[in-house]
Amino acid sequence: MKIAYLSANPLLNLASPSGYGTHMREMIKGLRALGHEVSPLIAGGTAIETLAQPGTGSAPKQLLRQLAPPFLWETAKDWRLKRFDGHMTTWFAEEINRMKPDLVYERGTYLQLAGHRVAQQMKLPHIVELNAPLAEEKAMLGRSSWFAKEAEAAERQLLQGAAKIVVVSSRLVQHFSDKYQLPRDKFIITPNAVDLDKVQSSEASTTELRKQLGLENKVVLGFVGSIFPYHGVDLLIRAFDALQTGHPELHLMIVGDGETLPELQELATKLNLNHKITFTGNVPHTEVFNHIALFDIAVLAKTKDYMSPIKVFEYGAMGVAIVAPSTTAVRDVIEDGRHGLLIGEEQTLEGRLKELIDNQKLREQIGKSFQEKVLEEHTWQRMAEKVLA
């Protein structure tokens, strides 16, 4: 089958190391692994050379952004998106007419209907992947614009016109079906997953890394990923601080970089924990699993209710015991006490960590149990199979 894979957002680049880039690349790879011909039509580019870098806009543009009221700035951005959507409609139509696919698979984007228009015009089945309530999320982040209502109407039109809607969690099924009066059987839930070809660690490299970092005979708590406020790494540091006094064998390892890393390093200094916390900064993706292999307990302290964090599946693929929040998306894949320990209304991060710190057998049991589930059910090829089933 010929599949046209669309992304109409000019800011989304297929080569991006961010979570969205990984998701796009791996879904394409999964579809191809099933024997299908997939042609990416990506507005933001497909190569690292065309990847926009943060803060690389012109000086006048940077100054204007600082001076303009947020509402006007967001309105101007949305107006440009609407104009770009017209351009993408023409480009998609030309390319799809040329390649003559059997199916259009689109990563849905905010305020843009180019893929919907072309699929309708050419009477092609149209699958839409939407992994967040984009219009609502933008308003919640304080980034409303004049086009907010139009963006919501576009989201409704996109989802109502789709043959199937792919989402990462049951929470999004509930949200979209209730908001837009959509039948539940129109949705396909495909949580994030792992590429088994990349889940590799070297015992020799891990042993050397453990020695370099002075982690012999330590119980290592760890976090891997981009460091943003919604991941709650500060909560992890504070929980670690409370636990390490009674557990001198503990060490905390934070792998990754992001906007709040300097604040976290300041917090570690303030709590006098610099000798017990390792901040690695950015690590090449080829080395990430060697770092996860050092963990005894892997942690995700906080996440949004509808998000399906890729790091949970990376932890799981390595057989590391997991502590994570009891969100809807996490409960979709992790059974509390069997595949991991979840932080709910009656459990704290500190308490759940202590359970695993004090019980090596439990760490090994839940690590192995979730590993088996991830390797069997949560590969990108399995997700592609679910979409096309």
pLDDT in tens, 144-159: 899 999 999 999 999 9
Q: Which amino acid is at 221?
A: L
CB-count burial class (<10 Å; 0-12, 13-18, 19+) for 214: exposed
Same domain, 163 and 40: yes
Q: State what percent of residues in the chain have pLDDT above 70.
A: 95
What is the CATH classification number for the domain harbouring 69? 3.40.50.2000
CB neighbours of 334 closer than 8 A, spacing ≥ 6? 312, 322, 324, 340, 342, 370
Last residue of a domain, one of 148, 163, 189: 189
Calculate the alpha carbon distances from 247 to 42, 67, 329, 332, 361 in Å: 50, 50, 32, 33, 18
The number of domains in the chain is 2
Estimate the crossing angle of helix 203-212 against helix 285-292, to 10 degrees.
Answer: 80
Q: Are 281 and 207 in contact (CB under 8 A)?
A: no
Residue 11 has pLDDT above 80, yes or no: yes
Measure the CA–CA gap between 313 and 330, rounded to whole angstroms: 10
Same domain, 140 and 272: no
Estimate the crossing angle of helix 70-99 against helix 114-121, to 10 degrees.
Answer: 30
276 phi/psi in degrees, rounded to 5: -115, 0
Q: Are 222 and 298 in contact (CB under 8 A)?
A: yes
Q: Can you give the pLDDT at residue 58?
A: 56
Same domain, 10 and 93: yes
In a domain, 337, yes or no: yes
| Average pLDDT across the chain, whole number | 92
Q: Are 375 and 191 in contact (CB under 8 A)?
A: no
Measure the CA–CA gap between 292 and 211, rounded to whole angstroms: 15
Q: State what percent of residues in the chain have pLDDT above 90.
A: 80
What digits encode the pLDDT tens for the residues 338-379?
999 999 988 999 999 999 999 999 999 999 999 999 999 999
pTM of the model: 0.90
Measure the CA–CA gap between 141 and 118, rounded to whole angstroms: 31
Q: Which residue has the higher pLDDT, 286 or 170?
A: 170
**Average pLDDT in the 17-32 region?**
91
Residue 53 has pLDDT above 90, yes or no: no
Same domain, 214 and 360: yes
Same domain, 98 and 214: no
Q: Can you give the pLDDT at residue 293?
A: 96
Range of the domain at 251: 203-378
Residues in the chain: 389
What digits encode the pLDDT tens for the residues 62-121?
656 666 688 888 899 999 999 999 999 999 999 999 999 999 999 999 999 999 999 999
Measure the CA–CA gap between 195 and 384, rounded to whole angstroms: 12
Same domain, 19 and 151: yes
Measure the CA–CA gap between 6 and 1, rounded to whole angstroms: 16
In a domain, 69, yes or no: yes
Same domain, 249 and 100: no
In a domain, 6, yes or no: yes
What's the CA angle centered on 287, arms 289 and 192, to 5 degrees?
Answer: 45
Q: Are 294 and 209 in contact (CB under 8 A)?
A: yes
How sure is the predictor about 142, in pLDDT bands with cuts at 50, 70 and 90? Answer: confident
How sure is the predictor about 55, in pLDDT bands with cuts at 50, 70 and 90? Answer: very low
In a domain, 318, yes or no: yes
What digits encode the pLDDT tens for the residues 213-267?
999 999 999 999 888 888 899 999 999 999 999 999 999 999 999 889 999 999 9
Last residue of a domain, one of 132, 157, 189: 189
Q: Can you give the pLDDT at residue 385?
A: 96
Same domain, 19 and 145: yes
Same domain, 181 and 215: no
In a domain, 297, yes or no: yes
Q: What is the strand order of the sheet 126-129 is part of?
A: 37-42, 2-7, 103-107, 126-129, 164-167, 187-189
Residue 143 has pLDDT above 90, yes or no: no
